[in-house]
Amino acid sequence: MKLPKLSSVFLFAIAVAWSGNERISAVAPTAWNASNVVVGTGSMNVYAKVLGTNGVPIQDTNSLLAAFSSNALVGVVNSSAGPSNSVLYALQVFGATNTDLINYKFYNSSNGVTYLITTNSTYTENGQIGTIFSPVILRCISSQLSQQIGAFTPIAGKNYLSAPFAITPPIASSTLPVTVTVKSGLASISSNMVTILGAGTVVLAANQPGNNIYLAAPQVTTNFIVAKGSQSITFPGISSQSFTTNPISITLPTASSPLPVNLSVSGPAKLSGSLLTLTGAGSVVLTASQSGNSNYLAATPVTNRVTVSKASQTISPFNQIADQIATNAPFIVTPPVASSGLNVTVSVSSGPATILTNMVTLTGSGTVTLSANQGGDTNYLAASTVTTSFAVSAAPQTIAEFTTISTKTYATTKSFAIVPPASSSKLAVVVKVLSGPATIAGNTVTLTGKGTVVLAANQAGNAKFQPAAQVTTSFTVQ
């Protein structure tokens, strides 16, 4: 039952005395306790102080405050003396049992009328009108009452990333307030708002410590599971690259959690911080991973595949090669340089020359074209061919003079051998009868009559030598 509601003309006070029949008066409290319960056994005094509408105590010794228990009068003691010269009606109350319910009413012995105490009910005494308060029920108990705490409302599973959530504390049978705390697990609670601090099992405890009426309630617990939070990795894509684009700066991957992300590389590349250095053409795979921890699940790995194409390369120009004479000795050429640093091969594209290990040997006259090539490798495309040309002139040559041929007698000499003069090129010299009575076959001259015979020596030249100037000789046939 709720506390009595006191009007401006009525005040209610209580004093309680304990320990068997010993009567001890205490200063009366200003209000009942929350449950109108007095703890203990024995007898007690209940006082009612009545004030009239003019604020002056009503002086009527015939009005009694009666105590009823189960509709039977238990005991009445009348007294006209009290504090502040007010009228005191003292009741010595004996409960039938130590949990008896006692209802108090006003009772007028002079007219036998019992004034039922209801809110704002009135009565008249000695010409004054007073307002009477509602009934009061007093419970007497021998010891503090026990109480129980109801069960928690089940709490659904959470995860580490769940937002703080409110809980409703279970209700105590005493209706006293229940306090909820975190008994174990990674969580905190404030004003019934639970904040998750980590994954695992969280146990909440509900407690009610009791008061002067109620014993502490047995603790009630509940638990819920906090799963690890999920996380994801963000890793921006990387465009295709050329082998020579080195190094390239990449945007490192990040996790939705605050945990660091591991980045591994497979393929022709090396990673240092956010700089990716390509070491060859092919496919480079970057894998970002985060293995999680006690509060986060492992993230799904994210990969970036970078296609690294072969790089282009160029060949520098040849050093200029001077025109040559076909009889010049073999000479070395310096190969041009490739931008890739790879070896360049020089070959004879056309013309009278051969080359071996960059040594050029002239084989004749004409125009020689050399080509420089670099065919590429696993990382470089083939370079465009670079050429150079130079002219090779035939060498001049001369024919030596004939050995003098003496006069011949036709009658006695029909034929004779000659020695052809030599050429400076050491090429064979051809001798012919330029004029006169003779023929020549090989180096044998046959006379056909008398007269003057003129022989001519010729060397027509070849790929390396120009034709030689004709040389002649003559002799007489008698």
pLDDT tens string 365-391 = 999 999 999 999 999 999 999 999 999
d(CA 266, CA 243): 15
- Average pLDDT for consecutive 10-residue bins of the chain (478 residues)? 26 27 27 41 41 44 36 37 33 41 41 38 47 43 79 96 97 96 98 97 97 88 97 96 90 97 96 94 96 97 95 96 96 97 97 97 96 96 97 96 95 94 96 97 95 97 94 96
Q: Would you tell me how many other CB atoms lie within 10 Å of the CB of residue 100?
A: 16
Q: What pLDDT shows up at residue 141?
A: 53
Nearest by Cα to 194 from 176, 221, 167: 167
Contact 443, 371 (CB under 8 A): no
Q: What pLDDT shows up at residue 27?
A: 27
Beta-sheet strand order (sheet of 248-249)? 248-249, 275-278, 269-272
Using CB atoms within 10 Å of the CB of residue 81, give its burial: 0 to 12 exposed, 13 to 18 middle, 19+ buried.
Answer: exposed
Task: Given CATH 3.30.70, say whether it is the number of domain 233-308.
Answer: no
Query: What is the residue-averaged pLDDT of the chain?
Result: 78
User: Which three-class secondary structure state does DSSP give residue 85?
Assistant: helix
Contact 223, 154 (CB under 8 A): no
Q: Where are the domains of the chain?
A: 10-141, 158-227, 233-308, 324-393, 415-477
pLDDT tens string 103-136 = 444 433 334 333 333 334 444 444 544 444 344 4
DSSP letter at 458?
E
d(CA 275, CA 270): 8
The full DSSP string for 191-230 is TTEEEE-SSEEEEEEEE----SSBPPPPPEEEEEEEEPBP
Enter the tokens of residue 273: 């911080």
Q: Do 10-141 and 233-308 share a fold?
A: yes
Contact 371, 360 (CB under 8 A): no
Overall fold of domain 10-141: Immunoglobulin-like (2.60.40)
Q: What pLDDT shows up at residue 143?
A: 61
Q: What pLDDT shows up at residue 125?
A: 46
d(CA 341, CA 164): 64
